């Protein structure tokens, strides 16, 4: 078999591949050159420079696996690869230590004003009094996101005698206790933390997570460390928070736009320090990701299970043909359920009724878990890792099967149990292709899981839906669909409104204040394939 390496990766990774396969190294190929030569290769190894587009995949007649020497796969058309049966894998662990240590370096530099003092001395000055720092010992560190990197930062900070509090809805209280960490809500971190470090993915929900309103909640004199993804912190709001004295300093490695505009107003602030996205830039990390991805590619070419696959692993064709349409449905059901849920998740139970109960549904259950976990985790959860990620957070995953049809030929019910209650979402396919949500908790509905949905329980009386519609209309938010489900048991109704754009927090707050409205959640399915 033949392997093509098109970006610069460590020689140690190339050596791993050369032990079993013919390897060609062709860096800096143009898109046209890649299209011309890709048909002869069984595997492709890239970093971030090479763009593996749908057009490339369409002509890649022999391609079986694409390996990304790094974490993100934004430069690879993963849906197109999946449709062609091409495995896409990455190296999610290779740069964990590098990113963890860089976060610690940024935090220490921020506490002791090291970059500013260095610059002053380079200018021939001796300004000891100007760069008075603070100790980290006994300070409260707030960690937002306890994935691989967040947990690593927490562990090292505890060793420095910091008090660590954390927010992560996918870590159980028992697991946090084992780590020596106190779990709190986001507002608890903002109110108590002396230092805050962010370790979240950039999603529609986390973009602009730290904004003007959030800065107003923070403890005065807080110091922020941002080595996760650019865009999580509103940079304009950060500038104002620094000027107002709310934020004593910030250390930033990632930006909303990269490379950074030299005129970025953050650069005018002496108590904000920067690095140019160096979190994964160590010699060891580059070797680690190259070796990890090479071993994954070799495993895939041998036809063995790949633990770092970011798309669907191979399944028997007959099973795939049956479950394929349900994979998208159950992932969206997971996304819906986790958006409705409050508290920390303890259990995920998936019940299969009808004909579907007679086939192997493990892949569907993993898709449901993937849908539950992905909206809030920094690392991407895939079909292979979903089970282990859930287990590491103390979440119990269970399948239940019954041939009883319950008015549908096939019905899937997902139940998410938290320490504050549970939420159920039931779904099926109409015509074996069209996904439908047919129940939410005690309410019978008929909703398409696509775009953005406003889901709001309310008392069963006239006028409420109209008032909600007026609020949306006043804010130029168009309603494209509407469903109302009734619960005879509760004597309440549930409105499910499809809208063209995300509903801002202030508009959602106004909706919740309407008399008779009993709550409201916005669920964003954009980014999930239909």
Distance CA 20, CA 326 (A): 38
pLDDT for position 278: 93
Q: Is residue 229 annotated as a catalytic residue, yes or no?
A: yes
Strand partners, 348: 397, 416
Choice among 11, 36, 258, 515 that is catalytic: 258
H or E element: which one contains 469? helix 464-474
pLDDT bin (cut points 50, 70, 90) of residue 388 is confident
pLDDT for position 239: 98
158 pLDDT exceeds 60? yes
pLDDT for position 325: 87
Distance CA 195, CA 138 (A): 11
To the question of domain 326-524 being in CATH 3.30.1330.90, the answer is yes
Most confident option among 74-78, 215-219, 444-448: 215-219
pLDDT for position 79: 83
Distance CA 130, CA 305 (A): 58
pLDDT bin (cut points 50, 70, 90) of residue 382 is low
Distance CA 60, CA 44 (A): 10
Q: Look at the alpha carbons of 484, 371, 81, 428 in this order and tell me if their dihedral is positive or negative.
A: negative
Answer whether 247's CB lies under 8 Å from 218's CB: yes
74 or 248, higher pLDDT: 248
pLDDT bin (cut points 50, 70, 90) of residue 376 is confident
Question: What is the residue extent of each domain of the chain?
Answer: 2-94+285-314, 96-274, 326-524
User: What is the mean pLDDT of the segment spanning 254-268?
Assistant: 93
User: What is the mean pLDDT of the segment spanning 144-150?
Assistant: 91
145 pLDDT exceeds 70? yes
Choice among 277, 436, 467, 486 that is catalytic: 277
CATH domain 96-274 topology: Rossmann fold (3.40.50)
pLDDT bin (cut points 50, 70, 90) of residue 530 is low
To the nearest whole number, what is the mean pLDDT of the chain? 91
Choice among 102, 148, 229, 393 that is catalytic: 229
Q: Is residue 258 annotated as a catalytic residue, yes or no?
A: yes
Answer whether 203's CB lies under 8 Å from 180's CB: no
Answer whether 66's CB lies under 8 Å from 88's CB: yes
Residue 237: both structure tokens together: 């709001």
Min mean pLDDT across 95-104, 141-150, 318-327 is at: 318-327
To the question of domain 2-94+285-314 being in CATH 3.40.50.720, the answer is yes
Q: One fold for both 2-94+285-314 and 96-274?
A: yes
Residues 267-326: tens digit of each pLDDT: 999 999 999 999 988 999 999 999 999 999 998 888 776 778 888 655 566 777 888 889
């Amino acid at each position: 078999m033949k392997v093509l390496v098109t970006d610069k990766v460590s020689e140690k990774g190339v050596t791993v591949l050369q032990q079993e396969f013919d390897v060609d190294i062709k860096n800096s190929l143009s898109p046209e050159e890649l299209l011309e030569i890709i048909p002869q290769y069984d595997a492709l190894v890239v970093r971030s420079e090479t763009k593996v587009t749908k057009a490339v995949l369409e002509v890649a007649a022999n391609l079986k696996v694409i390996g990304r020497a790094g974490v993100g796969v934004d430069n690879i058309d993963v849906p197109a690869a999946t449709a062609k049966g091409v495995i896409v894998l990455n190296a999610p662990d290779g740069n964990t230590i590098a990113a963890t240590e860089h976060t610690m370096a940024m935090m220490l530099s921020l506490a002791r004003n090291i970059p500013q003092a260095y610059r002053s001395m380079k200018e021939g000055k001796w300004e000891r009094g100007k760069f008075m720092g603070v100790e980290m010992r006994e300070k409260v560190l707030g960690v937002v996101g306890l994935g691989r990197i967040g947990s690593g930062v927490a562990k090292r900070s505890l060793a420095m005698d910091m008090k660590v509090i954390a927010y992560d809805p996918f870590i159980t209280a028992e697991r946090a206790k084992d780590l020596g960490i106190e779990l709190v809500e986001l507002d608890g971190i903002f109110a108590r933390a002396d230092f805050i470090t962010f370790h979240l993915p950039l999603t529609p929900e986390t973009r602009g997570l730290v904004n003007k309103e959030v800065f107003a909640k923070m403890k005065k004199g807080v110091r922020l460390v941002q080595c996760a993804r650019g865009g999580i912190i509103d940079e304009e709001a950060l500038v104002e928070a620094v000027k107002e004295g709310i934020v004593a300093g910030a250390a930033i490695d990632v930006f909303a736009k990269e490379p950074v505009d030299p005129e970025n107003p953050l650069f005018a602030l002496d108590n904000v320090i920067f690095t140019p996205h160096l979190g994964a830039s160590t010699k060891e990390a580059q070797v680690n990701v190259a070796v990890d991805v090479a071993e994954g590619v070799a495993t895939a070419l041998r036809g063995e299970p790949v633990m770092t696959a970011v798309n669907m692993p191979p399944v028997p064709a007959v099973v795939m043909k049956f479950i394929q349409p349900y994979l998208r449905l159950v992932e969206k059901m997971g996304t819906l359920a986790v958006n409705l849920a409050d508290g920390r998740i303890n259990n995920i139970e998936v019940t299969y009724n009808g004909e579907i109960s007679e086939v192997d549904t493990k892949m569907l259950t993993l898709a449901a878990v993937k849908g539950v976990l992905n909206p809030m985790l920094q690392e991407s959860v895939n079909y292979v890792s979903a089970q282990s990620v859930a287990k590491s957070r103390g979440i119990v995953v269970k399948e239940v099967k019954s041939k009883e049809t319950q008015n549908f030929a096939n019905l899937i019910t997902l139940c998410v149990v938290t320490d504050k209650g549970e939420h159920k979402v039931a779904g099926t396919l109409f015509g074996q292709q069209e996904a439908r949500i047919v129940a939410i908790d005690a309410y019978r509905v008929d909703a398409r899981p696509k775009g953005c949905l406003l889901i709001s329980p309310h008392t069963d009386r006239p006028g409420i839906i109209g008032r909600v519609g007026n609020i949306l209309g006043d804010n130029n938010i168009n309603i494209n669909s509407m469903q109302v489900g009734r619960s005879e048991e509760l004597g309440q109704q549930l409105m499910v409104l499809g809208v063209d754009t995300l509903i801002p927090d202030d508009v959602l707050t106004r909706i919740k204040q309407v008399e008779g409205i009993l709550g409201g959640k916005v669920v964003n399915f954009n980014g999930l394939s239909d």
